[in-house]
Amino acid sequence: MSATTLDPAAAKSVARRRERWSSSRTYISAAIILIWCLLPFYWMIVTAFRDVGYTFDPTPWFTHVTWDNFTTVFSESLGNHFAQNLLNSLIVATVTTAVALLFGVFAAYALARLEFRFKFLVLGFVLGASMFPGVAIVTPLFQLFTNIGWFGTYQALIIPNISFVLPLTVYTLTSFFREMPWELEEAARIDGCTQGEAFRKVIMPLAAPAVFTTAILAFIGAWNEFLIASQLSSEATKTVTVAIAYFAGSQPHQEPYTAVMAAGTVVTIPLVILVLVFQRKIVAGLTAGAVK
């Protein structure tokens, strides 16, 4: 409308100015989001490297830098067994992920590729299971594991973890498998591949990224679990999330903020690196199924 009343040059300059304004508004909003998401994380790292005496120093950059907090975190003499806690988390999360993938891959293949009755029911059950409240199974399992002497074992943590990691695995993999170009398998057969060759040379390379992404999501889920671990772990099998929640510092009767931030940094940095490297895949995995 306005373009007809203005000469073309003026109209162009108005449009350009409006575009520049809207793009600078986008950049301002993006900056706000960036700061909101990263600032608390940055603050954790700054505090992790700060001398205990300057715990509440509000200086926004690195000052009074020290490794002491990390020494405290791993200090056995203070009653912290953080290396053991890390190992426990690693064992629990790895085994949970492996078991969930082992079963989940087959179920997801069937749900994505085959036609059968009760498909709707199975999917509904899987989704319902992933939204299941952890407390509902902790109570009976607490009693059961105490009775059969499993309390404080790894399986006492792995089994309940599977209850929410397996549904997540099945659901995510199903959505991934649906998107895959399965026609290629048939094409490979026509071109002279045996079924085994077609699976190895065509399907495996196609499915591997989906399985890998799902493994990352499952691992992060199991690694971050707190409720089950806080109830069903003993001193020997305590995972990092529980250890961080009930941490002992260098001074008694004082909340060991800097040491806790250091512990948080140790636990979080590997995850953050993982997430940044595989960002695209993780976003695809998180949103798979919920939208398409």
Partner 1 sequence: MSMQAEPLTRRGKKGTGAGPENKEVGQDRKQKTQGRAAALLIIPSMIVLGIVIVYPVIEAIVMSLQKDAGLDPVTGTFVAGGFAGFYNYIHWILQQCNTPNGQASCPAGTLGSQFWSATGTTFLLTVVSVALETVIGFWMAIIMSRTFRGRGALRAAVLVPWAIPTAVTAKLWFFIFAFDGIANTLFHTSILWTGSEVPARSAIIIADVWKTTPFMALLILAGLQMIPDQVYEAAKVDGATAWQRFRLITLPLVKPALMVAILFRTLDALRMYDLPAIMTGGANGTTTLSILVVNQIRVGFNSAAALSTITFLIIFIVAFIFVRFLGANAVESATNSGKAK
Residues within window 236-265 making contact with partner 1, judged by CB under 8 A: 240-242, 244-245, 255, 257, 260-261, 264
Helix, strand, or coil (residue 133): coil
Q: Which is nearer to partner 1, 22 or 77 (CB)?
A: 22
Answer for which of 87, 91, 95, 137 binds partner 1 (CB under 8 A) is 137
Q: Hey, which residues between 140 and 199 contact partner 1 (CB under 8 A)?
A: 140-144, 159-160, 162-163, 166-167, 170-171, 174-175, 178
Residue 113: CB minimum distance to partner 1, A: 9
Answer for which of 138, 193, 206, 248 binds partner 1 (CB under 8 A) is 138
Q: Do residues 96 and 166 make contact, with C-beta atoms less than 8 angstroms apart?
A: no
* Burial of 272 from C-beta contacts in 10 A (0-12 / 13-18 / 19+): exposed
Q: Do residues 151 and 229 make contact, with C-beta atoms less than 8 angstroms apart?
A: no
Task: In whole angstroms, give the CA distance from residue 267 to residue 270.
Answer: 7
Could you count the other beta carbons within 10 Å of the beta carbon of residue 282?
A: 17
What is the pattern of x (binds partner 1, CB under 8 A) and - over residues 104-123?
x-xx-xxxx-xxxx-xx-xx
Task: In whole angstroms, give the CA distance from residue 189 to residue 146.
Answer: 54
What is the pattern of x (binds partner 1, CB under 8 A) and - over residues 35-74?
-xxx-xx-xx--x-------xx-x----------------
Task: In whole angstroms, give the CA distance from residue 173 to residue 52.
Answer: 46
Q: Does 208 bind partner 1 (CB under 8 A)?
A: no
Residue 37: CB minimum distance to partner 1, A: 5
